Structure 1
Amino acid sequence: MRIHFIAIGGSAMHNLAIALQKKGFNVTGSDDYIFEPSKSRLDKYGILPKSLGWDESNVTSELDAVILGMHAFPDNPELLKAKALGIKVYSYPEYVYEQSKEKLRVVIGGSHGKTTITSMILHVLDFYSKDFDYLVGAQLEGFDTMVKITDSAPVIIIEGDEYLASPIDRRPKFHLYKANIAVISGIAWDHINVFPTFANYAEQFSIFIDTIEPNGKLIYCELDKIVDDLVKSTTASVEKIPYRIPKHEVRDGITYLIPQETALRIFGDHNLMNLNAARLVCAQLGLHENEFDQAIKSFKGAAKRLELLSSEGDTNVYKDFAHSPSKLTATIEAVKLQYPNRKLIACIELHTFSSLNKEFLQQYEYTMDKADIAIVYIDEQTFLHKKIIPYAESDVQLAFKNDKLLFFNKSEKLEEYLLGLNFNKSNLLLMSSGNFSGMDLIELARKLKI
């Protein structure tokens, strides 16, 4: 098979390209920008484009298919050439389905927890040396790539994103996988540039349920009222399997599942709910609850999800992917409940389209109230780049309904403030789907006064 990737540098795109190349396909690709780690990883596998930019000559009638990434535009010259030649054009989720339609497909959907649930399932299956394919939204320890597609594996575990499939396919990705076993972890409005109302956003999950194969399984969080109501109202021919927080105890900063007394490396109600979702999926794949618990003991967490950057004495520093209101609330509550006797300094960087929208910003009200010191950071360059009128501190305080909240728009000022605090018996939680303007968080953690 000869496959050409338009916009090969994307996170999922370059991983799919590598997976197909490892499967024996002849893979080529193009992009106008390729950043690390995509660049080095494509180079390692011999499929890094020789030059940047789009070139119609990359697309010939010898190609079997073209896979189109979200980064490209509908008028991309390579895309137009492929259409003119009648070459089949796929989005990457569409092609993942094409490669897995004879397999058992497990699709993890939800506004939050997708990556962690998927990672837990992969960890457990790998622990028992099961043969499986996967697509996950983060680089996991012990896994070479974020996508694996083979001919031999009977099952594929897919993190099902609700964002759009491609510039010319406006369906959410998770609608295209046609799950045999589906998970919905929760529903909280996001991606307002695509789904302008909450009703429109929630509707996508209703459609997702309808895409489950007849007599398939739907594993869902019954503690999320929106999800629970949605599942109860569906007429889809699926078996409904609810989950909630498992019984547990927190002792000396360690969470134990009870009555088994299984010590975990993760913590927080949201992660425990994720664990139960993963446990139910693994049960459907033939693993007993005791087998799951034995394997999950060694699970350290998905990358950037309550990732421990530093631990010294009574001070921990965490990095977390949280950026939406629901994720922010869950992460702050998790750290505060795990360490009730420590002060919590929580800082979130806002930089996504949704979080910088002044109307959507109101969704953050009260989300940081459980932090002892609450900080919001927005790089002033982000306002300029997105052509948004900059917020004042009072705007952010009003939206968060927190007049004690601190606001910074320069990374050096934020770093100066944090380094001036005493972190004895305190935890620092740094939350963002970005990178805090390139701030070295490991070095910051090392310099804190403890």
Structure 2
Amino acid sequence: MNRYLIPILLCSLVTFTSHAETNLLQTTQQAKKQQQSSEQQRVAEFKAIEAKNRAIRDKLLAEKEALQTSIDQLSAQFADNELQLSEKDKALHLASGSLGELFGVVRQVAKSFYNEQSDRVTSIGQTTEIKAISAIIDAKTLPSREQLYTLWQAFMNHIDSSGKIVKIDVPYITENGTKETKQVTRLGGFGLIDDRGYLNWSSKENIASHYLVQPEPAPSATQLDNNSLIAIDPSNGTLLEQLALTPTLFERFEQGGVIGKVILGFLIIGLLLGLCQGGFLFYNKLKINAQLKHKERIGNNPLGRILGVYKYDKSPNVEALELRLYEIVLDEQQKLERGLSMLKLLAALSPMLGLLGTVTGMIETFQVITQYGNADPKLMAESISTALVTTVLGLIAAMPLLFLYNILNALADNVRTLLEKQGLGLVAQRAEENNGSGESCLA
């Protein structure tokens, strides 16, 4: 049985193997067919994309050729236009001749007239003409006939307005800051005036206001109505504006600072001291003159006190009398020269303080220059004012004090010399009396 089973198994194994190979071959062939179909489909897609890209490329190339053709045409047209423009410029230059130079002269004249007249009172009410002149200045082409006529008309109006005194209405700002219309008198091209004086005209704000400081004597429109002479400002308001910038005496003094106040204090003290001592000297001088006329009546004055010592001194010793009189003269001299040394000291200290203020002001000036530079002189004005004003104050204080000191010192010397002479005369008189008495006793 085993002998038959083995062949059967072998036959079955062969049959099975043959059947498996057949199935594997069919599967392989089927997979190959599917792969070939997929590859054919991909190739077809690639060809379709290639055809589409080729169409786009052809279209872009066509557009490129069209654009290049357009560029060539425009370049040729541009070159032709440049040539035509150059030819037309030459033709315009030949046709215009000297009009270009004339245009330059017109613009220059218009600019000069605009800068001069825009801030003057003759421009009041000529807004249209001012705008037309400004258009001529800003123009890049030749002015038209209407513009040239407007410029000529502006010149004529200015000449006509400059020679007339007329009353006009202008916008006016009051001290309270309110705006109103005010009737004023226009003095040609010099300025505006009303009953209170000159007015400042601002062309930028188109408004008038009074100057802070009026010239002396202050003019008014009433004086014009009465045909009176008034002062005018030929600088079109510049001088009137400078009046407000001119400091007063008090402002000058304030610029001196603390040192200036000290100098002024020295001046006041010295003047009071000098006046008091001067009054004392003049009073005693009058008393002494009266005493010289009436020596028998001894009064309360320096000479009277010397006469009193002589009268009530009964000592026969001349040297003792001389010493007593010399003592009285020294006492009176001290009273006569009282305060003069202080007056001399104040006269000497005043210019020294002025010099101190000058040095201080210059130091501050250099500090300002170090911090801000010297581009703006207004920053240095305060320090320079202190430097200069203190020097002036010192000299102003020293001169009257020194003059007063010399006068008082000379007066005191005269009184002292008079007292010394009178004292010496009394001593000589006593000596003569004693000599006379001795001679009589000896006789």
Q: What TM-score comes out, normalization by structure 2 length?
A: 0.16
Q: What TM-score comes out, normalization by structure 1 length?
A: 0.16
Q: Which has the higher strand share?
A: 1
Q: Which has the higher helix share?
A: 2
Q: Tell which structure's C-alpha radius of gyration is larger.
A: 2
